[in-house]
Amino acid sequence: MTEIFVSYSRKDKDVVFPFVERINKELNLNCWIDLEGVKSGEQFEDVIIENIDNCQIVLFMLSDASLKSKFTKREVYYAEDERKRIIPVLIDGDKLRGWFKFHFGNVDYIDIRSDEQKDKLIRNLKSWLGITDKNDDIQIEAKNKQNSKDDTEKAARLAKFSELLSQALSEKEFSNQMDKFSRLFKEYPEDEFVSQSYFNRGYILEKSGDLKSAILDYREAIQYNQNYAEAFYRLGSVLLKDDKEQSLEYLKKSIELSHDNIKAYYVLGLVYETYGTKDAYLNALDAYSDGKRQARFQGDLEMINQFEKVIKSLREKM
């Protein structure tokens, strides 16, 4: 089976080939990539279709050259139709653009010029493909030995906080949960911990039906961490019925901070639908379509089907 299909322009081969070699070496597999110019051969379509059909992930090496290529465009569109996970890998320029951005929106991408981004892609590929590295534990242990005393103490403190937070969330009695959160606020006053404490307590309050208190906690979480995408999402969801304008504002912010939050697109579409106007329906359709694209990138079949249902229903209204 071809785990990874690489869609690229041969004009970029000097950049693409070395990176593909690294992927093959570190993941111990063979990406399928057109090395010999099969695009010009008679068997082009059969070869390309077979390898896309058999792959799990398509890496689209996005550049000015690949955006101009009719072949890469056909490969990516076919892969989308087959519900493959498509990962844009930026070779030049500073953002998504052209037909790819028009069709897929502002999805997350990897910038191949950044070593940190390359490492991130390798880690993600391992996770998506279920590849385990026998040397990972050894490498982690070696890195841990080099950590400073402060880093070690910080890690231990984080582990203790996570343990206490887990206990608070697993408590069956509401009063016991609130007691444990009071302890968390007292013993872990650092911003990174306080924001998590407020968010998780807010989630419990929301589930208990105390939406007013939940809203206050979500807002406090954002005060301590203004990049807390999940807190913006929960706040937007809770405000859906009572304050649509603020709900839209928070949901848009959540998506801005984290493009891969599929449910934020879904709720955003629901809010727009409540306005009942033609323009609102069009905005809802955009939100659902963007969410469906993200679901396809993540291989979330359940959410793909859900988006297809609401899109069909919305189009019938329109």
pLDDT tens string 295-311: 988 888 999 999 999 99
Same domain assignment for residues 160 and 295 = yes
Same domain assignment for residues 55 and 78 = yes
Same domain assignment for residues 186 and 93 = no
- For 144-178, the pLDDT digits (tens) are 565 566 678 888 889 999 999 999 999 999 999 99
Q: How many domains does the chain have?
A: 2
Give the domain-ending residue among 136, 163, 178: 136
Same domain assignment for residues 61 and 166 = no
**For position 255, which CATH number holds?**
1.25.40.10
| DSSP-H helix ranges across the chain | 13-27, 44-54, 64-68, 70-81, 98-104, 115-129, 136-146, 149-170, 174-187, 191-208, 211-224, 229-238, 244-257, 262-275, 278-298, 301-317
141 lies in a domain?
no
Same domain assignment for residues 246 and 304 = yes
Nearest CA-CA partner of 198 in 167, 179, 219, 183: 219
30 lies in a domain?
yes
Structural domain harbouring 98: 4-136
Same domain assignment for residues 159 and 114 = no
- For 268-298, the pLDDT digits (tens) are 999 999 999 999 999 999 999 999 999 988 8
On whether the pTM is more than 0.75, the answer is no
